[in-house]
Structure 1
């Protein structure tokens, strides 16, 4: 018997195969969908922290979070783009970046950086979908139903259902 109860990172080399095998077992709803909470309990969120910064040069970063969802679903993002970078890179550049705590909603000079334990640029597209989906918290899904719909669209091929009532 294989133990599939342990958490794996979103950059695990065998992520998709292990998830599909896990989903095909007893972890589905009556209608055959897999609840988002099962995905989230299997794959560790890569999001360690969020930092808002001014005038970020996004070279070497990739869009994650709401910005990734906007690119791949019908979600409309806010003016502040969300980029991911590794903790290692953040340590290298943080002293040259201006962090902000408050800003005007329409201020497009502000970006949100999600700090991940690994470089999000290393993920293939399908694994990035999983990583972004598990980067949200249950509270974010409850507060923002648009994200629920976007995650459902993003993970439709895996039959994952992000539903705050099921989290």
Structure 2
């Protein structure tokens, strides 16, 4: 499914019994702007893109009570990534993470988006992707695997007027 957030926002929302809008329904209409994710050298990424917004668990860490991973996650549009020449993939991202101990030191997780990530500044002045865009980048697999992410994302969605119909699916 292609990414159509604005069409999803303009459509008639599915309203749940508690008056909140169904995030599951909205997410199906909107699609996911994230095309790919993988690990790159963190220093090289900061040199190539010093202004990238936090995304994924790093953004959720700034917007909620979630504790971030030992590495940062950033978002960049595919067109900007391609125009820069990109960076070498150091490691693939996987859900669930590999069972063996992996050293992420010196790495950053980059998310490649089909659109320029809309920005929001959180209370600490740190630039993160817009919360609604952030929310739709999480896959069912990630939400099922990581209960802490699912819980905090649910809390964030509640602030935005949405709720999961199937919280752990």
**TM-score of the superposition, structure 2-length normalised?**
0.74
Residue 115, structure 1, aligned to residue 102, structure 2 = no
SS state of the match for residue 109, structure 2? strand
- CA separation in 1, counterparts of 2:150 and 2:164? 5
Do 1:37 and 1:166's aligned partners in 2 also have CA atoms closer than 8 Å? no
1:61 Cα offset (Å): 1.0
Gaps of 5+ in 2: 93-99, 123-128
Q: Which residue of 2 aligns with 1:69?
A: 60
Counterpart selection for 1:150 from 152, 160, 163? 152
Shift in CA distance, 162/76, structure 1 to aligned 2, threshold 3 Å: farther
- Residues 69-95 of structure 1, C-alpha deviation per residue, up to 9 Å, x if partnerless? 000001111011110001012113345
Q: Which residue of 2 aligns with 1:3?
A: none
1:29 Cα offset (Å): 2.5
Do 2:15 and 2:22's aligned partners in 1 also have CA atoms closer than 8 Å? yes
Bigger drift between 140-149 and 28-37 goes to: 28-37
Cα RMSD of the aligned pairs, angstroms, is: 3.0
Q: Which has the higher helix share?
A: 1
- CA separation in 1, counterparts of 2:24 and 2:115? 23
Residue 98, structure 1, aligned to residue 113, structure 2 = no
1:165 Cα offset (Å): 5.0
1:34 Cα offset (Å): 2.8
Superposition map of 1:1-167 within 5 A: 9-10=4-5, 12=6, 18=10, 22-23=12-13, 27-55=14-42, 56-57=45-46, 58-95=49-86, 97-101=87-91, 105=102, 107-120=104-117, 122-124=118-120, 128-162=130-164, 164-165=166-167, 167=169
- CA separation in 1, counterparts of 2:55 and 2:69? 13
Shift >4 Å, 4+ stretches:
102-106, 124-127, 163-167
SS state of the match for residue 83, structure 2? helix
1:166 Cα offset (Å): 7.0
Do 2:76 and 2:112's aligned partners in 1 also have CA atoms closer than 8 Å? yes
**TM-score of the superposition, structure 1-length normalised?**
0.75
